[in-house]
């Protein structure tokens, strides 16, 4: 997993893998932010974890992503999950996990794509329904890859960004583990831009 924030989706995946029939396991957690709570959670759970601050790579995203990809592959990672990771991936990571990278975004894509403030933008826009999306990462398309799963969340008249985000999180914790399960079992296939579930 690549993380930058509080780690609630990491916690959801760790909870999912406690089920005896769950087909995936978190083997490594990497971050661009050394002080993020998600990294502390990974260390608390004794997971392989490491911070990759851009300052250590002379500002080069590609150099950083190349070392991150090598580190993840060296720990047995077969697919990559971005949960609150706030940087766009460059070719070394994209090439290391082709069609095996899931990203979680807190809107119903394609609405409010390409921002870390999708919840605030949804409120400001006045939408009545928002939600969250898990999609496959596609090169050169920020939040534009093929959609795997989505969940809708009603926007209430008295919502703040915090209250709305909390209800969106409840859905993220449900659909992200399911998307990881489907990808792990090779139960997803592409039909043009559409992602179709298939039996294994």
- Which residues belong to the active site? 105
Helices (H), the chain: 8-16, 37-44, 61-74, 91-96, 118-125, 161-184
Give me the DSSP letters along 119-133: HHHHHHHT-SEEEEE
What long-range pairs does 173-178 form, CB within 8 A, spacing at least 24? 173/8, 173/9, 173/11, 173/12, 175/132, 175/134, 175/149, 175/150, 175/151, 176/9, 176/12, 176/13, 176/81, 176/83, 176/102, 176/104, 176/134, 177/12, 177/13, 177/15, 177/16, 177/22, 178/149
Q: Is 107 within 8 Å of 113 (Cβ atoms)?
A: yes
């Amino acid at each position: 997993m690549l993380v930058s924030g509080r780690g609630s989706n990491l916690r959801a995946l760790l909870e999912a893998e406690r089920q005896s029939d769950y087909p995936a396991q978190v083997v490594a957690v990497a971050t661009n932010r050394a002080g993020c709570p998600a990294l502390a959670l990974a260390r608390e759970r004794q997971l392989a974890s490491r911070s990759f601050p851009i300052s250590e790579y002379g500002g080069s995203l590609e150099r950083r992503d190349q070392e991150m990809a090598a580190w993840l592959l060296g720990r047995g990672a077969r697919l990559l999950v971005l949960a609150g990771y706030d940087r766009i991936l460059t070719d070394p990571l994209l090439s290391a996990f082709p069609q095996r990278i899931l990203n979680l975004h807190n809107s119903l894509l394609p609405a409010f794509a390409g921002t870390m403030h999708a919840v605030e933008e949804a409120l400001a826009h006045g939408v009545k329904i928002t939600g969250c999306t898990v999609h496959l990462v596609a090169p050169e398309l920020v939040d534009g890859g093929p959609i795997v799963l989505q969940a809708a969340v009603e926007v209430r008249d008295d919502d703040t960004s915090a209250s709305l985000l909390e209800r969106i999180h409840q859905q993220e914790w449900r659909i992200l583990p399911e998307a990881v399960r489907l990808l792990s079992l090779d139960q997803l296939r592409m039909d043009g831009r559409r992602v179709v579930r298939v039996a294994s």
